[in-house]
Amino acid sequence: MIIDVQLLFDMGLIIVFSTILAYIARALKQPLVVAYVISGIILGPLGLGLIVNSAEIMVLAELGVAFLLFGIGLEIDYKALKNVGIVSASGACIQMILTFIFGYMVAFFFSISPMERIYIALLASFSSTMIVTKLLVDKKEIRTLHGRIMIGILIFQDLAAIISISYLNAIGRLSPNLLGMVFINGIGLFSLAILLNRFFFPRVLDYAATNHDIFFLTAITTFFFFISLSYILGFSIAIGAFIAGLALANFPYNIEIIGEARALRDFFSTIFFSTLGMQLNVFVLKDMFAFFILMLVLLIVVKPMLLIAIYNIFGYGSKTALDIGLGLGQGSEFMFIIASLGLLHAHISNEVYSLIISIIVISIILTPYLMRLRDFINERVLRSERVAGMIKNHAIKKLSSLPKKIKDHIVVIGCHRTGSLVINYLKNKGYDFVAIDHDPEVIKDLIKRKIYAIYGDAENMDVLSSAGIEKASIVVLAMPDVEASLFVTSKLKKVNPGARILAIAHTEEEAKKLHIAGCDFVIIPEIASSEKLVDGISYLLGGMEK
């Protein structure tokens, strides 16, 4: 009973300190994740020492990772994941192999044993599912092209981490069938989720949706069923939680489930980031500072550069490649498990263990700032005329369908949701138009439908010129990124001042910016849908009054 009271007391300290620092971070316009990590540093051995044993807290923190991945699984569109699956898998494999080699080479030049080098190499190979998915959720980028690819990469990295855990745990008693069993168990879990999604849950959820309590308990039961099964099969509970989300994905009730789980996710994820701060040990850095810096550079500089190069070669353009690369420049929470396993089996020393933990914590703290750097590079560097002229999108000619001559046509930039509706309308009415999007799968689909389309970033003047933007009569900016819309508007006013511009915005402030920049018509979808709803209510009420 004393242990239980102590655990509650420790959780209370974490929440109180995290809340106070969150207010300060918000006032200073700093990421909240950093505030949570700092609260752990203050409470842990490095600070006030109020929480000495963080092992029990770490168990609760794992639920934060699990609930976050459960939510990601719920939002997964099977078709969208399938479209980027091969790209994510191939990119992840190339990146993991190269960073593993680089990590091993860095460790080779220091007084580190061969077995410890393997753990250091693994540290360089994986990225943090927890921090990346949280930042993507916070920025509402989960459903974007780079968001889907990043989630795919993280899934394959996590599977590789699980295989690594199984392998390292079995050193000395490794059988030829072990890796095969891991593979079979993984396929079995995914297959079970798909079968339940297709044949079991459609009827169960239809019935459960009639009662709020039963509906919520059904979702939570699915969550705990899969994390328990995952644990029994030797996988992490995080993978089980993600698969549980997949089992419930693509149903009309997902929004309700996500809403119910959000409070639990935020609560446990706060504890997770705080426990990261408790693991930090700066004293070990004084003897291995040069090695620490080199590994940090490998994680936050070299790995992002490799990913940027890989996805540029794959033809995804500089902006998408940059989004992917800078978002994955950190260590993985799976390394806590792998490093603990190495310490348990005497594969690594206490010093190397503390070093690995410190590198992971520091790299995770720096991740939100790398994401801000991404935004800065997008706005200030990639959009500059000099750099835009240097960056040639090598996929333009290979992935485009353009008329030989076109004039007084319509250009639609952004082909998701709003853009797709515009495209369908223009095609049905027989208007001449060209579509632009940076998702290759979308462009391939449009070309199959015999629609003129070109793949590339809207900020790339080569792409805009290829679509004949200088001779267009109307340009529709259906992109979710208002900064990109402002950029295109400014360029269009220079090369084709007579063109009429229609755009979408998310807020009245964004709409005002677009009007000032020169857009002729700006719509805010949220407000427009609300107005339609009010019109519908007014119509129904009017009918009832009559």
- Contacts of 215 by beta carbon, 8 Å cutoff, 6+ apart: 205, 208, 209, 253, 256, 257
Q: Hey, is 170 helix, strand or coil?
A: coil
Sheet holding 500-504, edge to edge: 400-401, 453-455, 433-437, 410-413, 474-477, 500-504, 521-523
Domains of the chain: 2-382 (1.20.1530.20), 400-534 (3.40.50.720)
Q: Which residue has the tokens 């902006």?
A: 319
The angle formed by the CA atoms of residues 269, 128 and 222, to the nearest 5 degrees, is 55
The angle formed by the CA atoms of residues 294, 295 and 298, to the nearest 5 degrees, is 90
Q: Which residues pair with 437 in a beta bridge?
A: 455
What is the total residue count of the chain? Answer: 546
Two structure tokens written together for 381: 């560097």
- Is 225:326 a contact under the CB 8 Å cutoff? no
Distance CA 220, CA 395 (A): 45
Two structure tokens written together for 393: 């999108």
Answer yes or no: pTM beyond 0.75. no
pLDDT, tens digit only, all 546 positions of the chain: 455 677 788 888 889 999 999 999 888 877 787 888 889 888 888 788 887 766 667 777 777 777 777 877 776 666 656 666 788 889 999 999 999 999 999 998 887 888 889 999 999 999 988 788 878 877 777 777 788 888 889 888 877 887 787 677 666 555 556 667 767 887 888 889 889 988 888 888 888 878 878 888 888 899 999 989 988 887 777 778 888 888 887 777 766 777 777 777 778 778 878 887 887 777 777 778 888 899 999 999 999 999 999 988 887 777 788 889 988 988 887 787 788 778 777 888 888 888 888 888 888 888 888 877 776 776 655 555 444 444 444 444 456 777 777 788 899 998 877 888 888 888 888 888 899 887 777 888 888 888 888 887 777 777 888 888 888 889 999 887 788 888 888 888 888 888 899 998 888 888 888 888 889 888 887 777 777 788 788 877 875 554
